[in-house]
Amino acid sequence: MALLSGALGAAVALLATRQQWSEGTATVAGGSFPLTAKGSDVTGVPASLAIVGLAALVAVFAVRRAGRFLVAALLALSGAGTIAAALLGVNDSSALDEQAAKASGDTSATVDTLSHTAWPYVAVAGGVLLLLAGLLALRYGRLWPAMSGRYERSGAPRPRRQAPVVDPDRPEDMWKALDRGEDPTGA
- pLDDT tens digits along 12-45: 999 999 998 888 887 777 777 788 888 888 888 9
| Residue type, position 69, single letter | F
CA atoms within 13 A on the CB side of 97: 9
Cα(42)–Cα(120) distance, rounded to whole angstroms?
Answer: 10
Q: Stretch 110-137: mean pLDDT, rounded?
A: 90
Cα(125)–Cα(8) distance, rounded to whole angstroms?
Answer: 10
The count of other CB atoms within 10 Å of the CB of residue 62 is: 11
Please name each of the domains of the chain with its CATH number.
2-143 (1.20.140)
Q: Are strands 31-38 and 20-28 parallel, antiparallel or unpaired?
A: antiparallel
pLDDT at position 129, please?
A: 95
Q: The whole model's pTM is what?
A: 0.72
